[in-house]
Amino acid sequence: MLLGCAGSSKASVPEPYHLIPGRIPLDWQGPDGNTIVLDAPKGLIVFDTGRSPQHAQAILDYAKQRHQPVAAIINSHWHLDHTTGNYDIRQVYPRAAVFASNAVDGALASFLNKSRVQVDRMLADPKTPEGEKDQALRGRFRIDHPETLRPTRPILKSGRMVIAGRTLDIHLSKFAATEGDVWLYDPKTRTAIVGDLVVGLVPFMDTACAQGWSKALDAIAEVPFKTLIPGHGPVMTRADFGTWRKAYNDFVECGQSKADKKQCIDGWEQEAAQFIDSEHRGYVRAAASYYIDTRLRSSPEEQQRYCKPLRAS
Ligand SMILES: [Zn+2]
């Protein structure tokens, strides 16, 4: 099945990567981040592992179909829509090393600790549907067992690394979408895999440092990629990325100004129109409004909350 795969259909030419697209459902289910699988001499490298059991299963099915072990996992960042599947994969491939930044430690002491309280409240509510409870329990297990989220091979700085026998340019952008965002560039195929530093629909700014994120986009722009795979949404060309980057910077500038909020939301919707399907338009507008309120137009301390290391709160 070649759907979602890139590269030549000729079996003799290996595809540069295999994409398992993450869904963004409009109901209570949270999104799954995109997963990108790369071939390496020692097995498969899995970049991000999604949230739902179905997404993790799709990764495991692909590995089985390829008759290759998962040799390494790389997490772009600690958000649970990119890391929950780590545990499922390591149940099957316990020797898979996990490469990620250490930012999850600060998150466990603050953001994730708080969301655990919300999860308990939800589980105690008899009105919560069973499916939603299952997902909440799945997330809570990860928070209660931080070793399922932590790297076994922490990424502390940018540089060329050999992962599962394959050489990759690993980048660490600090204080961007999270405290430590890992992205990679494969010089051989000129592909950049950037996690949530680029998200088709709307930048997910829940734990964002707006200005640091902008700097991370500058760093991505300096790399001579031809193809860019975002954390959510379809694959982009270099020109697409340029459009998205400008839309991001304009959205932040508008959000932090005194301009009418509706004008900022309209601006995002227009500039990023090519990345927004009609089904998600309402979702995008609601999210943009929420991020203006909570991240861009909140108190100066709140705006800077994620521009420094997270601590227990
Ligand atoms: Zn995400």
Give distance in angstroms: CA of 120 to centre of ligand 1: 23
Give distance in angstroms: CA of 11 to centre of ligand 1: 32
What are the pLDDT digits (tens) for 25-59?
A: 888 888 999 999 999 999 999 999 999 999 999 99
Give distance in angstroms: CA of 13 to centre of ligand 1: 31
Q: What angle do CA 25, 31, 35 make, to 5 degrees?
A: 120
What are the pLDDT digits (tens) for 87-139?
A: 999 999 999 999 999 999 999 999 999 999 999 999 999 999 988 999 999 99
Give distance in angstroms: CA of 266 to centre of ligand 1: 23
Tokens of 12: 């003799």
Closest CA to 242 of 256, 257, 228: 228
Q: Which long-range contacts (CB under 8 A, 24 or more apart) does 121-130 make?
A: 129/28
Give distance in angstroms: CA of 182 to centre of ligand 1: 13
Give distance in angstroms: CA of 205 to centre of ligand 1: 10
Give distance in angstroms: CA of 82 to centre of ligand 1: 6
Give distance in angstroms: CA of 270 to centre of ligand 1: 22
Please tell me the predicted confidence (pLDDT) of residue 210. 97
Please tell me the predicted confidence (pLDDT) of residue 30. 85
Give distance in angstroms: CA of 34 to centre of ligand 1: 8
Give distance in angstroms: CA of 291 to centre of ligand 1: 15
Closest CA to 241 of 211, 265, 206, 272: 272
Cβ within 8 Å of residue 303, ≥6 positions away: 210, 256, 295, 296
Give distance in angstroms: CA of 92 to centre of ligand 1: 24
Give distance in angstroms: CA of 196 to centre of ligand 1: 5
Please tell me the predicted confidence (pLDDT) of residue 3. 42
* pLDDT-flagged residues of the chain (< 70): 1-14, 312-313
Give distance in angstroms: CA of 221 to centre of ligand 1: 21
Give distance in angstroms: CA of 78 to centre of ligand 1: 9
Give distance in angstroms: CA of 45 to centre of ligand 1: 19
Look over the chain and give the mean of its residue pLDDT values, rounded to a whole number.
94
Cβ within 8 Å of residue 49, ≥6 positions away: 35, 55, 56, 59, 73, 75, 82, 83, 84, 85, 86, 88, 89
Give distance in angstroms: CA of 158 to centre of ligand 1: 21
Threshold 0.85, pTM exceeds? yes
Q: Cα-flanking dihedrals φ and ψ of residue 136, to 5°?
A: -65, -40
